[in-house]
Amino acid sequence: MGVHKKIEDPEILWQHFLDYQDKVKEKPILVHDFVGKDGDSVNRKKEKPLTFVGFQNYLDDMGVISDVTDYFENKEGRYGLFVRICSRIKRTIAEDQITGGMVGIYNTSITQRLNGLVDKSEVAVKTEQPLFPDAPAKPPAEEDEDDFM
């Protein structure tokens, strides 16, 4: 006897994601700011990013399922039909975050970290071989104060 799934069909999961996406994009975050020479108080609308955590919370808030992790991890191979949709959801979230970061809508460093993107720089350490490796290191000569008068 198979285990009953809260979400029976991958297309239903995809539709839930599209509903989540619409909800997020329709309601921007209001950020309090001060503008102009007089520092006038304004609320600026900022687009919300799509997040996996946000999608999970949406599903829980809507009473669909409290934890969708098994679907995305294909726990015990029971969610094979959902692999393609789960992959598409992850890619769509990543695309939104990366694109938003690239055009300055979202914080770029957070976007990079969330999506495993790093700016790698190569650091080369160069050590010099002494000309006479067996010679003892000679301390610098001390100058006598009388030499300057």
130 part of a folded domain: no
Express as a percent the part of the chain with pLDDT over 90: 60
2 part of a folded domain: no
138 part of a folded domain: no
pLDDT of residue 1: 45
pLDDT tens figures, 27-67: 999 989 999 999 999 999 999 999 999 999 999 999 999 99
136 part of a folded domain: no
What is the span of the domain harbouring residue 19? 10-115
Strand partners, 41: 34
137 part of a folded domain: no
pLDDT of residue 3: 61
61 part of a folded domain: yes
Q: How many domains does the chain have?
A: 1
pLDDT tens figures, 58-99: 999 999 999 999 999 999 999 999 999 999 999 999 999 999
Average pLDDT over residues 97-102: 91
* DSSP string for the chain: -PPPPSS--HHHHHHHHHHHHHHHHHSPEEEEEEETTTTEEEEEEEPPPP-HHHHHHHHHHTTS-S--HHHHHTGGGTTGGGHHHHHHHHHHHHHHHHHHHHTTSS-HHHHHHHTT-----------PPPSSTTSPPPPPPPPPGGGG-
1 part of a folded domain: no
Looking at per-residue pLDDT, the higher value among 55 and 145 belongs to 55
- Neighbouring CB atoms inside 10 A of 40's CB total 9
129 part of a folded domain: no
CATH code of the domain containing 72 = 1.10.132.80
pLDDT tens figures, 105-137: 888 888 888 887 776 666 777 777 767 767 666
pLDDT of residue 141: 64
